[in-house]
């Protein structure tokens, strides 16, 4: 099938590369010239495991190319997948500026074409958007009728950043929300050789499945985080509790890792938008509201624990090391990273922060700026003479920090393990004053 992908962020480019790897002919569209040139050179402009390899193989074979010209791409394609970003606006609603712009361009191209084409939305949006926003824009700009002259649908993505290629090629399920049978049939064609259950629904249900899946996962994490705060006090270990719970297939151990909270470009904005919509339609969700509130508090658990560990209960003038800045490992994404409120809180209390991350330091500089904040590349160097350390992001690389390094380099070897990354027994055996989220004394 000939496919146009509008927007080459991690969702768009991964979608394009994976469909090309299945034998389809893919043209990716972006407004940034540099991205387009890089893709055409076979280089991924973003980091995603396995993506560079796919581009290196598929671009020379002419299965995948990129262009700045949306109209040409649409004219040449049977399926047009819109994957532009829908960032959050005013914290609670999606900003559809890029989505509307991309939809208009697709509509204008449809106007010039005599062929039946199907437009698919992959950008996350509030339930109802495909029918109430996208459809009218497409009909107005193309002068054509959906269902008659062109097809339309919503096909959610369930890709985790960092492992998006793997997630795309091995999905748990494929959800196709189409306005009619013909649209659904066309979209189904590109998923023919995927070995996963396919669910066919209307576009609003598909949008709801996407946003509620993310909200549920966020709620699951917040649940285990709140339980971790309890286990800490009553003297049991959240890891064993989660393991015991997770062995029940109805619960599962996935997304049951307690820590300092969830961040990123998806969970925070999706759950806020759904909560906002629940209020708008007159059924405000208490669970969504509490999940958001619990996650706002969770990063500061690290600060509370640290405060109680410091002899004078004061952060003033203390050198505190932050291990990990990105919202999760294997990405340089700082959007809604929990490192931000932790660092800001400590800086407010006059601490001196030495923060390190394998790849997110450059991005972090756009989010954090203070004369008492120092970014350090080498974690071992950061630890020298420190009063305390908080592990915020569980990068594998931090495993190189042995208990001895903490014990010998730091002034006082206080370690708050916000992701339960290190072995408490080994740390304590070496003299490290170790605290783990959800670990009772």
Answer whether 86's CB lies under 8 Å from 95's CB.
yes
Q: Which residues contact 138 (CB under 8 A, 6 or more apart)?
A: 103, 106, 107, 110, 119, 144, 146, 150, 152
Question: Of these, 18, 84, 184, 266, which contacts ligand UGA (CB under 6 A)?
Answer: 266
Q: Is residue 158 involved in binding ligand UGA (CB under 6 A)?
A: yes
Q: Min. distance of Cβ 210 from ligand UGA in angstroms?
A: 7
Q: Is residue 124 involved in binding ligand UGA (CB under 6 A)?
A: yes
Tokens at residue 151, please?
């097809």
Q: Is residue 255 involved in binding ligand UGA (CB under 6 A)?
A: yes
Question: Of these, 2, 71, 104, 160, which contacts ligand UGA (CB under 6 A)?
Answer: 160
Site for ligand UGA in 173-202 (CB under 6 A): none
Q: Min. distance of Cβ 211 from ligand UGA in angstroms?
A: 9
Other C-beta atoms closer than 10 Å to the C-beta of 10 total: 24
Tokens at residue 262, please?
């969830």
Q: Is residue 259 involved in binding ligand UGA (CB under 6 A)?
A: yes
- Name the residue nearer to ligand UGA (CB basis): 6 or 109: 6
Q: Min. distance of Cβ 310 from ligand UGA in angstroms?
A: 25
Task: Write down how long the chain is.
Answer: 441
- Name the residue nearer to ligand UGA (CB basis): 6 or 410: 6
Question: Of these, 98, 327, 354, 398, which contacts ligand UGA (CB under 6 A)?
Answer: 327
Q: Is residue 262 involved in binding ligand UGA (CB under 6 A)?
A: yes
Tokens 């080994």, located at residue: 426
**CA pseudo-torsion sign 289, 295, 296, 300:** positive
Q: In 3D, which of 29, 25, 17 has the Cα closest to residue 54?
A: 17
Candidate ranges 17-25, 128-136, 152-160, 425-433; the one touching ligand UGA (CB under 6 A): 152-160
- Name the residue nearer to ligand UGA (CB basis): 116 or 158: 158
Q: Min. distance of Cβ 249 from ligand UGA in angstroms?
A: 17
Q: Min. distance of Cβ 259 from ligand UGA in angstroms?
A: 4
Kindly give the interhelix angle for 267-280 and 286-297, rounded to the nearest 10 degrees.
150
Candidate ranges 243-251, 259-267, 354-362, 433-441; the one touching ligand UGA (CB under 6 A): 259-267
Question: Of these, 153, 263, 299, 379, which contacts ligand UGA (CB under 6 A)?
Answer: 263
Q: In 3D, which of 325, 209, 211 has the Cα closest to residue 268?
A: 211
Residue 266 burial class via C-beta count within 10 angstroms: exposed 0-12, middle 13-18, buried 19 and up: buried
Q: Min. distance of Cβ 144 from ligand UGA in angstroms?
A: 31
Tokens at residue 438, please?
């959800």
Q: Min. distance of Cβ 189 from ligand UGA in angstroms?
A: 23
- Name the residue nearer to ligand UGA (CB basis): 263 or 413: 263
The DSSP line for 158-226 is -PPTTSHHHHHHS-S-EEEEESSHHHHHHHHHTTTT--S-EEEE-HHHHHHHHHHHHHHHHHHHHHHHH
Answer whether 399's CB lies under 8 Å from 423's CB.
no
**What are the start-end ranges of the H helices in 77-112?**
97-112
Q: Is residue 159 involved in binding ligand UGA (CB under 6 A)?
A: yes
Q: Min. distance of Cβ 364 from ligand UGA in angstroms?
A: 15
Question: Of these, 5, 134, 208, 221, which contacts ligand UGA (CB under 6 A)?
Answer: 221
Candidate ranges 44-52, 257-265, 370-378, 403-411; the one touching ligand UGA (CB under 6 A): 257-265
- Catalytically active residues, by annotation: 266
Answer whether 420's CB lies under 8 Å from 390's CB.
no
- Name the residue nearer to ligand UGA (CB basis): 267 or 275: 267
Largest CA distance in the chain: 76
Total interface residues for ligand UGA by CB under 6 A: 20
- What CA–CA distance (Å, rounded) separates 159 from 157? 6
Task: Give contact residues for ligand UGA (rule: CB under 6 A).
Answer: 124, 157-161, 214, 217, 221, 255-257, 259, 262-264, 266-267, 327-328
């Amino acid at each position: 099938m000939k496919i146009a992908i509008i927007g080459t962020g991690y969702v768009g480019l991964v979608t394009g590369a994976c469909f090309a790897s299945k034998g389809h002919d893919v043209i990716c569209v972006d407004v940034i010239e540099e991205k387009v040139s890089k893709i055409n050179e076979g280089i991924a402009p973003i980091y995603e495991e396995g993506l560079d390899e796919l581009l290196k193989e598929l671009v020379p074979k002419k299965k995948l190319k990129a262009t700045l010209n949306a109209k040409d791409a649409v004219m040449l394609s049977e399926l047009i997948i819109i994957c532009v970003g829908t960032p959050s606006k005013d914290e609670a609603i999606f900003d559809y500026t890029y989505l509307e712009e991309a939809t208009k361009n697709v509509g204008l191209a449809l106007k010039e074409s005599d062929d039946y084409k199907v437009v698919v939305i992959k950008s996350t949006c509030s339930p109802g958007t495909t029918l109430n926003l996208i459809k009218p824009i497409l009909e107005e700009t193309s002068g054509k009728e959906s269902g008659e002259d062109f097809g339309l649908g919503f096909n959610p993505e369930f890709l985790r950043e960092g492992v998006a290629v793997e997630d795309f090629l091995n999905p748990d399920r494929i959800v196709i929300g189409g306005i009619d049978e013909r649209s659904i049939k066309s979209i189904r064609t590109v998923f023919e050789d995927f070995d996963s259950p396919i669910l066919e629904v209307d576009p609003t249900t598909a949008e709801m499945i996407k946003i509620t899946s993310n909200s549920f996962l966020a709620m699951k994490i917040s649940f285990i985080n709140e339980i971790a705060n309890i286990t800490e006090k009553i003297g049991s270990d959240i890891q064993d509790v989660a393991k015991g719970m997770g062995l029940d297939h109805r619960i599962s151990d996935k997304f049951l890792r307690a820590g300092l909270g969830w961040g990123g470009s998806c969970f925070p904005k999706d759950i806020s938008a759904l909560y906002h919509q629940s209020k708008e339609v007159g059924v405000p969700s208490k669970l969504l509201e509490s999940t958001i509130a619990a996650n706002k508090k969770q990063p500061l658990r690290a600060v509370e624990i640290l405060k109680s560990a410091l002899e004078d209960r004061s952060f003033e003038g203390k050198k505190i090391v932050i291990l990990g800045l990105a919202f999760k490992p294997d990405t340089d994404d700082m959007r809604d990273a929990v490192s931000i409120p932790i660092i800001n809180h400590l800086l407010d209390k006059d601490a001196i922060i030495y923060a390190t991350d394998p790849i997110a330091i450059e991005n972090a500089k756009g989010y954090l700026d203070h004369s008492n904040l120092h970014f350090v590349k080498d974690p071992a160097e950061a630890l020298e003479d420190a009063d305390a350390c908080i592990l915020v992001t569980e990068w594998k690389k931090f495993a190189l920090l042995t208990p001895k390094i903490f014990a010998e380099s730091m002034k006082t070897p206080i370690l708050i393990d916000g992701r339960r990354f290190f072995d408490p027994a080994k740390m304590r055996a070496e003299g490290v004053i170790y605290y783990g989220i959800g670990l009772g004394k």
